[in-house]
Amino acid sequence: MPTDCISYQNSGYFSSLMNDYLEKKTKLQSLYNRFPTLENFEAQIQEKQLNFNENGTLKRQILVSSLEKQYSKVETSVLTKQNIEDLNNPNTFTVTTGHQLNLFSGPLYFLYKIISTINLTTELKAKYPTYNFVPIYWMATEDHDFEEINYFNFKGKKFRWNKESTGPVGRLSTEGLAEFLEVYTLELGSSTNADTLKKLFEDSYLNHDNLADATRFLANALFGAYGLVILDADNADLKRNFIPFIKEELLQQSSHKLVLETAEKLKEYTVQVNPREINLFYIEDDLRERIIFENDRYKVNHTKIEFSETEILILLENHPEKFSPNVIMRPLYQEGILPNLCYIGGGGEIAYWLELKSFFAAAKVTFPILLLRNSVLLATEKQAKKVDKLDLNWEDLFSKQANLVTTKTKELSDFPIDLTHLKNQLQKQFQELYDVANKTDESFLGAVKAQETKQIKGLENLEKRLLKAQKRKLSDVLQRITELQNELFPNQSLQERQTNFSEFYLEFGENLIPTLVKQLKPLDNKFDIIVL
């Protein structure tokens, strides 16, 4: 499978914060623990081992017990079973990615996150063979923004699951997805790969009662052979470990102050998340609302539920599962219950993690290495041939469409469209007039300036008209270029953020994931172009 790549920075799709992080700019170095290189994991292992040792055996036992219960009805690969057992071993560490419970995995980058995680554990094992490394997919079962996950795009069409949801999405019933599958099946058509996709959807969503179980089945079906361990942290036993941190958040609310202070260091960028005074939700099956503190009472927003301090602390001891961390507290929960070395996420995720280091330091929890997940553009051989035939390179296709069209128009024209040289000549001629004007009165100087501006503007207008005329003349080839870009960048956005994996599985079948696993290198920090 031919591959190519461009740097993230040259792709034009990453924020200035991510570009500066990748370039290890000095101003950001206080906001992370270690930069993601293979060599830096040695010190990370030692620090995490030391930090996790306090009650580490008990934490590991609770983690393994919880996972075994969650996998009790799942057909589990030998490698995944071994990975779960290995988590009892003090020399076993995790690499974690997290993702929402998007319907049928959502956009393609779901795959890239998990493959980045799997492949990093493989690289770590080769480098540090005396340790074990387990890839973890942390399911975002406690999220409640159903509108973000209830659809996927297939061949330019949006397939949406219409249902009401008010509580944590992991507990949501899968009822109603049989009708959804009927509509989706019509688009899949008839082929061996189409039948495989239909069965995968049916086995995942129609044979499981809630979205958490369905998503676990799906991710296990796709990646179980690689030893992926899928964790649902909406779990009373796991949250019992987190009680001291929840209590601290309820009583001291220190995360608010610490994260705000760190966010101040990021003010030149777009701050990804802003902390609440209390960064916790109260959850039940059909409820997930913020906990707020007013008039010496703990209240559940938009409800009549409220507690005194004594009452809420009793509830915490007896029912920690009723407390759900928000985006600020969830990373601390994750790193507190897992022997984790590295978190792998997209640019937006890494951006909010960069706000949290001082909060972790105050909580005395090791801050993980932060790694930007792999990004990929998938192309067919037919599309790759078009790229060559149109004399394009991959970096051209990452350009904004208007810029791409203008650049190619200038390249394809058999005469220069850029009139900069004429503008420079004109400015030299006017310099002589300025020399004369400086020897006479100001009114003449003003007239020279006005004339120069007028003539430069005239040349700029001619340049625009010339460009427009050439675009009309070259319209056939320019249309082929834009059509190709629209195929590769649906809605003029990254393919990985738009297209569902099933679109490529339909054509390339079971070879799709092994090809990606073989090609992607998580520590390379490159945007891969893979021709299937």
pLDDT at 368 over 60: yes
The answer to whether 532 touches 508, Cβ cutoff 8 Å, is yes
Residues near 109 by beta carbon (within 8 Å), at least 6 away in sequence = 346, 373, 375, 496, 497
pLDDT score of 240: 97
2 pLDDT more than 70: no
Nearest to 7 by CA among 394, 370, 350: 394
pLDDT over threshold 60, residue 222: yes
Higher-pLDDT residue of 442 and 129 is 129
For the chain, the helix, strand and coil percentages under 3-state DSSP, each to the nearest 5: 55, 15, 30
Yes or no: say if 246 and 280 are a contact pair by the CB < 8 Å rule: yes
* Mean pLDDT rounded to a whole number for the chain: 95
Place of tokens 């009927």: 182
What would the mean pLDDT of 55-72 be, rounded to a whole number? 96
Strand pairing category for 229-232 and 3-7: unpaired
Q: What are phi and psi of 336, to 5 degrees?
A: -80, -30
Question: What residue type is assigned to position 57 of the chain?
Answer: T
> pTM value?
0.93
CA distances (Å), origin 269, targets 86, 184, 352, 385:
41, 41, 12, 39
The pairing of beta strand 526-531 with beta strand 323-325: unpaired
H or E segment to which residue 158 belongs = strand 157-160
Residue with more model confidence, 414 or 86: 86
| Among the listed residues 5, 6, 54, the one whose alpha carbon sits nearest the alpha carbon of residue 365 | 54
The secondary structure of residue 203, as a DSSP letter, is I
Determine the pLDDT at residue 270: 87
* pLDDT, tens digit, 9 for 90 and up, residues 19-33: 999 999 999 999 999
Does residue 147 contact residue 158 with C-beta atoms inside 8 Å? no
pLDDT, one tens digit per residue, over 392-414 is: 999 999 999 999 999 999 889 88
Question: Using 50, 70 and 90 to split pLDDT, how confident is the model at 1?
Answer: low
Domain borders along the chain are: 381-495
Q: Name the CA radius of gyration of the chain, rounded.
A: 28
Q: What are phi and psi of 307, to 5 degrees?
A: -140, 150
Across residues 113-142, what is the average pLDDT?
A: 98
Q: Which residue has the tokens 């996150």?
A: 113
Biggest CA-to-CA distance, the chain:
94
User: What distances in angstroms separate CA 377 from CA 118, 394, 448, one per listed residue?
Assistant: 19, 10, 53
What burial letters (b/e) apply to 451-461, b meaning 16+ CB within 10 Å? ebeebbeeeee
Which range among 320-324, 368-372, 373-377, 412-416 shows the weakest confidence by mean pLDDT? 412-416
Read off the pLDDT band of 458 (50, 70, 90): confident
Strand (E) or helix (H) holding 306: strand 306-307
CB environment 21-46: b (16+ within 10 A), e (fewer): bbeeeeebeebbbbebeeeebeebbe
